[in-house]
Structure 1
Amino acid sequence: MTEYVHRYEQLANKPVRFLLFIKKTPVPKTKELPDNIKCNFNKEIRIRDTLELLVEIKITETGKRQVRNENMLRLLKGAILNTKHVYVTNLNHGVHISFVTSEQLWVSDGHSLTLTNSKGNILHHLFDVSEYYGVHTVNSEGELIYVDKDWNINKISADNATKSTLIKRTELWEPWCICHSGSTGDLLVMMRYDTRNPTIPLSDVKVIRYSSTVQQIQTIQYHRTGEPLYSEPIYITENGNGDIVVSDTWNGVVVTDHEGKYRFTYTGPPEGLSFGIFMPSGICVDAFLNILICGRLDQTIQLINRDGLLLSILPTKQDGMVEPLGLGYDEKNHVVWMGSGMNNKLCVYRYIERQDYLA
């Protein structure tokens, strides 16, 4: 049955090939039916009748079948250092991480942007990237989207051969961090007024949602009370439930729903569980819709659920990770990668394991 299901998923839109597979696959021997069970089969099944039934089959677009993560995955009681250290050549820091595949990831250090494999070998290099933090993301086609030194948002093709400009910097607004939405294909951009203009308040910050055709379709800026939501945002990501998650240096981790309505702010662990001053930096989300937060000063990874409840704290100092800064979640292997603000060292932690659901 497992083999039939596997083939069906591969050939779901090719019913004839799937039927041929069933026809050619040997049927396992079965026990003789008890005498009290009567089965009547028509020995003369005509091909024409079969074909008439087959042409009535309608294939509709229903999206990919997905098994609920709570059935296939489970959280471990603690985190395991999966890969002790990966060193990326010519990288000074691990400021931000964006995955292309589980074997390829973009890592920035505030000066350049490097495409590396899981072993730390350089595959491609860019030098016109912005010096800020969460300034790059990867779309569903494997294309890199990043903010350059002139505050324009560019796109690099999946083969790294073609560069195009998606959004040009306006006279006053600068993109500070960006995120691609895997569910809608939209681009979330955290915009801020030109900080070199001393007459403009620092609190003038907003999230702009751009469609896949680069049309502005949403702006998120204020709390329901009219107060600014953000102060100094450095990273932005989107959760699987549509929530927009922003790491704000001074405000904490600010979460709004997909409509931009304020949900909650996470300002660190409760008293007695803290490892020091909480200053959020890198963020990412996992398959359970949990939010992972890099504590830059207290040197931790903090795991909260979709509603802001603290689930666990992972100290990283014991693993030689000084000033943890960038985070990236590998959706295939369910591990989290963390970069340092002090060197080119990357650590890989596992805190989720697969369950053999069929077993």
Structure 2
Amino acid sequence: MKEYVHRYEQLANKSVKFLLFIKKTPIPKTTDLPDTLMCNINEEIETEGILELLVEIKITEVGKRQVRNEQMLKLMPQGMLKKFVAVPDLIHGVHISFLTPDRIWVNDGRSLCLTNSKGNNLHRLFDVSELYGVHTVNSTGELIYVDKDWNINKLSTDNTTKSTLINRTERWEPWCICHSSSAEDLLVMVRYDSDNASIPLSDVKCIRYNSTLQPIQTIQYHKTGKPLYHEPVYITENKNGDIVVSDIGKGVVVTDRDGKYRFTYTGPPEGLSLFMPCGICVDTFLNILICGRLDQTIQMINRDGLLLSILPTKQDGMVQPLGLGYDEKNHLVWMGSGKTNKLCVYRYIERHDFLA
């Protein structure tokens, strides 16, 4: 039995090989066990007790077992350009929010456009803020966005009804937002609007609103008392609950679900002076993808800030990468540019037969 356990641990991810091992190595009969062990087994096992336990077992799953989707995916050695999608109603792509794999919201600083994978215009809003990561989509498919008056609005799924969720509070302005799918909360980066040209670093914070739009958490300072943020432009949440903020003045700042500082990514060592983080998104492996606006790359780091790969975009004709969005169903990353209305679609994750 120890051998079975050992082989199972070795072949847990190779189901076919483990089944072949069982077929070739039958389980020893109880009569082959030592007499002393057989005596103990017979004394301890009661048939009626076993039958009662079997009756209590409830089967909750039916149908064929399937390997988890994540187990059938792997990172490609190098990402590849899949296609371009031109959106005629936009001048460039600042931020991308997925409604469905075939319907995405994209803004360009002038308007916010709902388009499909072919670039057709399905709906358009003109009261959106001129900043970058100012829209998100909640779990029910409603668009949430920051308008020109610094209010946070919601658009119904049929694109007919707008309502105000959060009014601008005093002089605090929402700079970027994201929907927290893990807790159905709304994460909002706000910055204090000062009359002075120089805004204090401490006047930037992340506020978490619950489903009833009550502020339940504020993230603003490092444990040393220093401000965490300076000029946030995008915010997203990783699948492990980490809050990831792209900050032009700091880098990519990551805190955990409780707001505890984890790390700041400031770019690869060889390109530190050129690193300016813009659009960010996360994938199914909890990796963080970052648009490097100046060095014109998409950089991928793991959940702990280790650089995994760099995808140059200039070689594909895409300069000044700005917005990023991740298609969770097809495992594609969409990138918007600050120079063109074309959206660039890359594949860097591929499926493989896990049982082969």
Structure 2 residue matching 1:77: 3-state secondary structure: strand
Task: Mark the CA change 1:170 to 1:67 in structure 2 (over 3 Å): closer, same or farther.
Answer: farther
Q: Give the aligned partner of residue 102 of structure 1.
A: 101
Deviations 1:133-180 (A, max 9, x none): 100000011100000000000000111111111000011111000000
Partner Cα separation in structure 2 for residue 174 and residue 258 of structure 1 = 23
Structure 2 residue matching 1:218: 3-state secondary structure: strand
Normalised to the residue count of structure 1, the TM-score between the two structures is 0.80
Greater CA deviation, 275-284 or 128-137? 275-284
Partner Cα separation in structure 2 for residue 93 and residue 142 of structure 1 = 24
C-alpha contact (below 8 Å) 1:210/1:217 kept by paired residues: yes
Structure 1 residue matching 2:170: 3-state secondary structure: coil
**Which residue identity does 1:335 align to in structure 2?**
L
Partner Cα separation in structure 1 for residue 339 and residue 272 of structure 2 = 19
Structure 1 residue matching 2:315: 3-state secondary structure: helix
Q: CA deviation at 1:70?
A: 4.6
Task: Mark the CA change 1:199 to 1:313 in structure 2 (over 3 Å): closer, same or farther.
Answer: closer
Q: Give the aligned partner of residue 82 of structure 1.
A: 82
1:325 equivalent to 2:319? Answer: no
- Alignment partner for residue 342 of structure 2, among 320, 345, 353? 345
**Which residue identity does 1:133 align to in structure 2?**
Y
Q: Give the aligned partner of residue 38 of structure 1.
A: none
Q: CA deviation at 1:348?
A: 0.2
Q: Give the aligned partner of residue 354 of structure 1.
A: 351
Q: CA deviation at 1:357?
A: 3.1
Partner Cα separation in structure 2 for residue 129 and residue 173 of structure 1 = 17
C-alpha contact (below 8 Å) 1:145/1:154 kept by paired residues: yes
Q: Give the aligned partner of residue 249 of structure 2.
A: 250
Equivalent residues in 2 for 1:122-133, closer than 5 Å = 122-133=121-132
Partner Cα separation in structure 2 for residue 76 and residue 257 of structure 1 = 28
**Which residue identity does 2:80 align to in structure 1?**
I
C-alpha contact (below 8 Å) 2:266/2:272 kept by paired residues: no
**Which residue identity does 1:295 align to in structure 2?**
G
Deviations 1:206-225 (A, max 9, x none): 00000011011100000010
- Which structure is higher in helix share? 2
Structure 1 residue matching 2:346: 3-state secondary structure: strand
Q: Give the aligned partner of residue 20 of structure 2.
A: none
Task: Mark the CA change 1:196 to 1:338 in structure 2 (over 3 Å): closer, same or farther.
Answer: farther
Q: Give the aligned partner of residue 15 of structure 2.
A: none
Q: Give the aligned partner of residue 117 of structure 2.
A: 118
Q: Give the aligned partner of residue 311 of structure 1.
A: 308
C-alpha contact (below 8 Å) 2:251/2:277 kept by paired residues: yes
Task: Mark the CA change 1:340 to 1:210 in structure 2 (over 3 Å): closer, same or farther.
Answer: same
**Which residue identity does 1:255 align to in structure 2?**
V
C-alpha contact (below 8 Å) 1:69/1:287 kept by paired residues: no
Partner Cα separation in structure 2 for residue 216 and residue 68 of structure 1 = 36
RMSD: 2.2
Q: Give the aligned partner of residue 283 of structure 1.
A: 280
C-alpha contact (below 8 Å) 2:324/2:333 kept by paired residues: yes
Task: Mark the CA change 1:308 to 1:67 in structure 2 (over 3 Å): closer, same or farther.
Answer: farther
C-alpha contact (below 8 Å) 2:202/2:220 kept by paired residues: no
**Which residue identity does 2:79 align to in structure 1?**
A
Equivalent residues in 2 for 1:1-359, closer than 5 Å = 68=68, 70-83=70-83, 85-198=84-197, 200-271=199-270, 274=271, 277-359=274-356
Partner Cα separation in structure 1 for residue 322 and residue 159 of structure 2 = 26
Q: CA deviation at 1:100?
A: 0.1
Task: Mark the CA change 1:235 to 1:67 in structure 2 (over 3 Å): closer, same or farther.
Answer: farther
Greater CA deviation, 204-213 or 189-198? 189-198
Task: Mark the CA change 1:182 to 1:66 in structure 2 (over 3 Å): closer, same or farther.
Answer: farther
C-alpha contact (below 8 Å) 1:299/1:317 kept by paired residues: yes
Query: Identity of aligned pairs, percent?
Result: 76
Q: Count residues in correspondence.
A: 300
Normalised to the residue count of structure 2, the TM-score between the two structures is 0.80
Deviations 1:291-319 (A, max 9, x none): 00000000000000000000000000000
C-alpha contact (below 8 Å) 2:279/2:322 kept by paired residues: yes
Structure 1 residue matching 2:278: 3-state secondary structure: strand
Task: Mark the CA change 1:195 to 1:324 in structure 2 (over 3 Å): closer, same or farther.
Answer: farther
Q: Give the aligned partner of residue 49 of structure 1.
A: none
**Which residue identity does 1:260 align to in structure 2?**
G
Give runs of ≥4 in structure 1 deviating > 6 Å: 53-56
C-alpha contact (below 8 Å) 1:195/1:202 kept by paired residues: no
Task: Mark the CA change 1:346 to 1:195 in structure 2 (over 3 Å): closer, same or farther.
Answer: farther
C-alpha contact (below 8 Å) 1:203/1:232 kept by paired residues: no
